[in-house]
Chains A and B, each alone.
Chain A
């Protein structure tokens, strides 16, 4: 009893400060662990530092000792991952607090306004700040838990968690992955707006739309709504036209790497600057930035299952295929152009918005280190950058009343590409078809031969 009171008291002390920053602790858990060996201590210290868990007792990771109580708060999306890791290392644990927010609510009523918005119906036709997007992701996972998981990708430079949503219908069939990331450039606000719209459209319609149902039987969708979180927040609070991330260089006198010049695709060769003050500064080396690394490490791990890599930008009304660093066409250029043009045509069909298709080296400008080029170079066959509306009239400051039409038309382009992946890239699908046609023609030729004789 004294222990619980002590915890509530400490929460009462901790929470007010934290609530003023509008953090939520829904379904966060506090685990009680008594490490038995030095190896277990080391593993717990590793978990703490890589996932940035919240140590309640002891206060410092170096004070974690075998035989001594450890109390650690695990954010809700990480709970399963942490428990799996503990099980794997045979570290026993007890759930001390199953829902930190519930307990906190006992000591202090929380601000409900931003939470209310998500419950009553998220407004997809407005731009949202990062904290609302974090809440939206949690709410989406909750509302569609049979299909959606929110997964941790890595930490940004300013120590914010990067999450992607995995939309996946449970199945024993092998699946191909479609990856889509938004917001790699901070000022391109229509991009994260599209990722949120896309997720909403898929989830709200998968029960009623047979096409989406079919997609989800064989395709997993991985959506990263905001890649450059620090930059996005900076564009809301300080500089609306900021582009890069927020990592410091030159002793903190200069900020930000252009994340779309930081990938390991002919890195540093063309269309970049090595001067940190430039908006196309490519970083100190390929994948120098934590945001780039978080994405690259994940894509590398999953690359044999990824059929399509989409990265969403603005503005310019373009569907860009590889490459930016050379005009030499990629091996499957015909396919890339054909699918890209089909997608652009579907888009134009909605409101007449005209898009151009092709490699940036021909239709935009030379650049190196882009995520799209890198994805293709490591073997992902369909890799595109979308540059959404408009053509410069409003540029980055696209009016919110254009969010809906932009997202609706872009949706048609993306589903055209998904359809192509479904037709051509399903695991075993095409092969099975070929085999059965082969078998059929063999049978037929045998029958015919017998008939003739």
Chain B
């Protein structure tokens, strides 16, 4: 069944697809976001769940003129809400290489004398210091994993802010950052604190190795 792209069921499914895609293809030098949802179709699969077929146009946050088309499928499972939706995607064309920027970031962090620590990114006025921008993007990319894993047809999750980030030195070649992020859930309007451990290497991409939802945000 064809769905109007403006209506929220297709937009929520698109958000999940993009979050997953951002996680799989992103890094400190690349974060993809949705520019336009071109088409959406839904299918009710008996005893399985709701499947959405999407045609998306994505753009690179760091280079808005660089767009890429994409088709994606999102399957929300019936019943058990603890199972993440299944997401598959196909990108049309190549993404620009971020090899150079990745290398610069990697060497800079590896050569730090003291482990990097930062908080409130962006700050209250939306400002991110330029040297922390890769850390900001990395969090946004990694939060795609959290969004994907925790989405249902009745939620719409976004990264609201990095509350705290701490670099953890490792003996292997990976960079590790322990984040406390705040996610914004649009339907309930709640702010949800979430801890996540993020590993990254220019060759391997981003991996969330540990994540833990924290108790409520309302400070009263």
A residues near B (Cβ < 8 Å) are 126-127, 236, 238-241, 243, 253-255, 258, 271, 273, 277-280, 316, 354, 356-358, 362-365, 391-400, 402
Contacts and interface: CB of A to CB of B under 8 A. Distances in A.
Contact of B8 (A241, A280, A362): A362
A241 B217 contact: yes
Contact of A397 (B61, B126, B219): B126
A241 B182 CA distance: 10
B158 to A, nearest CB: 4
A362 B218 CA distance: 29
B160 A241 contact: yes
Nearest to A354: B36
Given A253-B220, A365-B186, 14 more contacts: A241-B182, A241-B217, A254-B220, A273-B188, A279-B190, A280-B188, A280-B189, A357-B6, A362-B6, A363-B11, A364-B8, A391-B33, A392-B184, A397-B126
B168 to A, nearest CB: 26
B126 A399 contact: yes
B171 interface: no
Interface in B116-165: 122-128, 156, 158-161
A268 to B, nearest CB: 16
Nearest to B35: A354
Interface string B17-58: 000000000000000011010000000000000000000000
A241 B184 CA distance: 9
A395 B184 contact: yes
B218 A400 contact: no
18 contacts: A241-B191, A243-B189, A255-B220, A271-B187, A279-B189, A279-B190, A354-B36, A358-B6, A391-B33, A392-B33, A392-B158, A392-B159, A393-B33, A395-B158, A397-B123, A397-B125, A397-B126, A400-B125
Q: Which 4 A-B pairs have the closest CB atoms?
A: A399-B126, A279-B189, A392-B158, A397-B126
Contact of B122 (A126, A392, A397): A397
Nearest to B34: A391
Contact of A363 (B7, B36, B124, B219): B7
B93 interface: no
Given A241-B191, A354-B36, A402 B126 contact: yes
B216 interface: yes
Nearest to B125: A400
A399 B33 CA distance: 18
A395 B7 CA distance: 20
B36 A362 contact: no
Contacts of A356: 6
A241 B186 CA distance: 13
Interface string B182-220: 101011111100000000000000000000000011111
A277 B160 contact: no
A279 B188 contact: yes
Nearest to B157: A392
A126 B124 CA distance: 12
A372 B77 CA distance: 35
A113 to B, nearest CB: 19
